Every structure is written in C-alpha cells, then in structure tokens.
C-alpha cells in the first residue's frame, strides 16, 4: 500500500542503464552499498517494471531468510529454541518492512544467514570444500551489502575466542578469507581511490553560502 519513496527511486536508478559512454561494469564498481542486488535487479527489471514485480525479489528473500534461519538454529540449538527464534524473525516488524522495500536489506539478511550456515559446517569439519563454500558465502554476503564485512570480522573473533585460530582450522580459514577478500577487492580498491580524492577543508575557509549548502 506504500508507494516508492526516495531511496527506492534511487535504487531503481542504480540498476537502470548507465549514462551514455559509461560501461555497466563501471557503474557496478561505483555502487557504494554492494553490487549484487543492483546486478540482479538489472536483469529482473527487464521482464517488467511494476512495483509488485520489482518488490518481489526482496519479499522472496525475506521468506527464504525465515526458512534458512530455522535451518541454522537447528544446527546450533534444540528444536524448541529454533522454533522460537524462527518465530521472532517471521513476525519481526523490521524484517517484514524491509522485505517489502525495493532495497538490498533482505538480500543482506538472507546471505548473512547462509554464511552462518556455511561457517557452522566449516567449524565442524574444516576441509577445503567447506572453506571454499564459506569464502564464497561471506563474499556474496559482502557484495549484497558491504556491512557484511563486519560479519567476517565477527567470525574471525569467534574463531579466536573458541580456540580455532590455529591447528586444523588455520589453513582452511586463510583460504576462505582469501576467497572472500578476492571477491570484494575491486570495491575495496575503488573505495580507497575515492577516499584519496577527498580534500579536507577548514570550515573557516568555506564561503558563507557554501556553509549553508
């Protein structure tokens, strides 16, 4: 019942065609949130442009988040606790709201949960296959929104405090981290390039009309 608001309109612009003379890959490279949602929606929007159609992937991701959250909770706790936790996510006003938005938040939630499933399997048996899957899962989560890099830091802290930073976990963990880092490295470089171009100016040096702006 809510129409598109300003951030959703900007999102539509992010997955639309780039300005003349700019290749699409370069537009994705300058996506400040993460390119995965914009890239997916670029192809999704080729079929139709109605609000319902454009909101559908976010809604689907929200539903899948509940399903996979239940799966993850069953891996780490008992059935009753898993059911309670799943219920909390299913009725969460935040999850319901952001699953209806034409934004990347429900994608972030879904891929973070999938990364947690991959991590739980990895710490049970840290072989090369599970390390690769973990690296890809964390990389995809980070490309859905760069805030997922905090998840990677959190997993590293968990490994450290649970005594899994060495031994049979170390080399597979390095492999997983290298894969995730490789996946997001173009956007890390782009951010460094962008930050280097920022000039810090003292407030006293700015004209009054610029201060107002």
Q: How confident is the model at residue 140 (pLDDT cuts 50, 70, 90)?
A: very high
User: Does position 204 have pLDDT exceeding 80, yes or no?
Assistant: no
Q: What distance, in Å, lies between the first and last C-alpha atoms of the chain? A: 35
User: Does position 118 have pLDDT exceeding 80, yes or no?
Assistant: yes
Q: How confident is the model at residue 166 (pLDDT cuts 50, 70, 90)?
A: confident
Phi and psi based region of residue 167 (left: phi greater than 0; alpha: psi -120 to 50; beta: remaining): left
Pair 96, 62: CB distance under 8 Å: yes
d(CA 47, CA 55): 13
Pair 140, 112: CB distance under 8 Å: no
Q: What is the mean pLDDT of residues 83-91?
A: 97
Pair 37, 144: CB distance under 8 Å: yes
Classify the C-alpha dihedral 160-161-163-168 as positive or negative: negative
User: Does position 28 have pLDDT exceeding 90, yes or no?
Assistant: no
The DSSP line for 79-148 is: HHHHHHHHHHHHT-HHHHHHHHSSSSHHHHHHHHHHHHHHHHHHHHS--HHHHHHHHHHHHHHHHH-GGG
Q: How confident is the model at residue 202 (pLDDT cuts 50, 70, 90)?
A: confident
* Residue 178 Cα distances to 114, 117, 169, 182, angstroms: 18, 19, 14, 6
Q: Which pTM value belongs to this model?
A: 0.87
User: Does position 113 have pLDDT exceeding 90, yes or no?
Assistant: yes
Q: What is the mean pLDDT of residues 132-155?
A: 95
Residue-level pLDDT at 79: 95
Two structure tokens written together for 186: 């173009």
* Residue 47 Cα distances to 19, 44, 60, 101, 118, angstroms: 21, 6, 17, 19, 33
* Residue 151 Cα distances to 98, 112, 156, 209, angstroms: 19, 8, 9, 42
User: Does position 2 have pLDDT exceeding 90, yes or no?
Assistant: no
pLDDT, mean over the chain: 90
Nearest to 76 by CA among 30, 124, 109: 124
User: Does position 91 have pLDDT exceeding 90, yes or no?
Assistant: yes
Residue-level pLDDT at 83: 97
């Amino acid at each position: 019942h809510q129409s598109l608001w300003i951030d959703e309109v900007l999102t539509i612009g992010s997955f639309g065609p780039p300005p003349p003379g700019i290749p699409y890959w370069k537009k994705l490279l300058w996506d400040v949130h993460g390119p995965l949602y914009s890239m997916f929606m670029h192809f999704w929007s080729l079929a139709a442009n109605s609000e319902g159609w454009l909101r559908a992937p976010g809604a689907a991701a929200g539903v899948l988040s509940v399903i996979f959250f239940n799966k993850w909770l069953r891996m780490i706790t008992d059935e009753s606790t898993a059911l309670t936790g799943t219920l909390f996510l299913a009725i969460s006003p935040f999850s319901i709201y952001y699953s209806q938005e034409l934004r990347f938040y429900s994608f972030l939630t879904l891929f973070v949960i999938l990364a947690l499933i991959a991590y739980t399997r990895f710490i049970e048996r840290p072989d090369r296959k599970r390390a690769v899957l973990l690296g890809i899962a964390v990389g995809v989560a980070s490309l859905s929104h760069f805030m997922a890099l905090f998840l990677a830091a959190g997993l590293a802290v968990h490994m450290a405090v649970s005594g899994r930073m060495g031994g049979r976990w170390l080399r597979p963990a390095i492999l997983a981290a290298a894969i995730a880092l490789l996946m997001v490295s173009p956007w890390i470089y782009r951010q460094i390039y962008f930050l280097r171009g920022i000039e810090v100016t003292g407030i006293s040096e700015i004209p009054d009309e610029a201060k107002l702006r």
